[in-house]
Chains A and B, each alone.
Chain A
């Protein structure tokens, strides 16, 4: 079942900027990576999903509801972490989360405490004085507090240190296990490679590829089979180069990262 649907979405900002006829779907329980360089139209697409922008043509739906008309109803089951987070600067983190609980009308138990522990966050200070990483964590707590079924992350790990990045990856994995649908935008290949089932690549506002991580990798994969002198050598070789051993023969695949795949699509732009 498709939970998030983007169909022929177009928003032309002029000068080649915007989103043009973008179409993709995210299925129930799937982690979808939305990959593209800065300015490719990722955030513009997400703003349509959030109901901030009305599509010029085309449509977006989440859980069968129209993202523009039914935006308030959709938000009840949606968690969103924007790329550039800005809170109410005059509040402390604690006050902000309390405000959101009342604003959302989240009575009784929610996941606030659990999430604060998970990200080791003590948001006592003024938000204005927080580091980018602190703000990012606060944004994650705020977005997940109400335990939504659908998650949209716009470049979620920017500002997080490697330790917290891997915490985030673990979190995505455990949310996925609970059957949640996740859209994760990024311009970082490793992030998407580690967490996503399928990937959509956007360039210049157009979707250039939508496929599973394996399929994308396979399409750009080279395999070599090497024959070695002894089994012992073969097993050592297989261990060092992450190959699969079959007697004296070892098959290795170039661990071509998504980055290189990405470059194939983006080659022109990067040069």
Chain B
């Protein structure tokens, strides 16, 4: 099902990117968490009042009454969506389409290893990276929360929200991975694999701004991830996450199926 040597190579290829993202995330998460105090919150909320559209576009709203609500508003609308998405886009393209584009896939194909094994292994590298990032984010939030504001963060709520975050990125990664398996040239793989998630994020921003543009929410998977409602355990939000999970599994499955059947001019 999975080739160990190829999996190790894939994970090794992810390390550098994961470290960079980990450093950037550590900075932002710790800073945002530390800002959950009356003075700073007021400052952030004043930005929201000053430029409500822009702040709303990236999911930031004022008046959070709990640390989790504060994080949902200031982390889960932009930072925690964009950085793991970057991982999905770059690795998605690098794990399959790049090898086909530069023909090094020949080395992998001229061996008694099934195509489905190759695709599943590369998919596993993607999912592992996504999982590592989500776990890392959770740990980061929990410990910086405990450090700055002990006993203010509810672990259950945090886990619920981050399970949702994982499903969202599983779905986004599925899009990138599917594009990588479908196209044989990186320009198309990147074009669709990066273009579609970014376009959907733009739709999400439009929908956040409200008004007529709110209809854009029907054209983006980000709508299905509602951190505040998820923290509150609302069933609608849970269904949204389950849909994301299902979409992710279907996309990864379809990617493997497409790769197994396609012609390779390598």
Give the B-binding residues of A (Cβ under 8 A).
47, 50-54, 71-73, 75-76, 78-80, 82, 84-89, 96, 99-100, 102-104, 142-143
Contact = CB atoms under 8 A, between A and B. Distances in A.
A102 B107 contact: no
B104 A72 contact: no
Nearest to B12: A90
Interface stretch (B3-11, B222-230, B236-244): B3-11
Contact of B264 (A53, A73, A99): A53
Mostly, the A contact residues are mixed
Interface in B221-266: 263-266
B111 A53 contact: no
B171 to A, nearest CB: 29
Which of under 10, 10 to 19, 20 to 34, or 35 or more describes the interface residues of B? 20 to 34
Given A99-B9, A102-B4, A86 B102 contact: yes
Given A86-B104, A87-B104, A87-B107, A72 B264 contact: no
B103 A143 contact: no
Contacts of B264: 47, 52-53
Contacts of B43: none
A88 B107 contact: yes
Contact of B263 (A54, A86, A87): A54
Given A72-B113, A100-B111, 6 more contacts: A71-B109, A82-B110, A86-B103, A86-B104, A96-B107, A102-B4
A78 B112 CA distance: 9
B132 interface: no
Contacts of A80: 106, 110
Contacts of B3: 103
B265 A53 contact: yes
Nearest to A11: B263
Contacts of A85: 106
Residue with the highest number of chain A CB atoms closer than 10 Å, among B9, B106, B109, B266: B106
Interface in B94-112: 102-104, 106-112
A102 B115 CA distance: 17
Contacts of B9: 88, 99
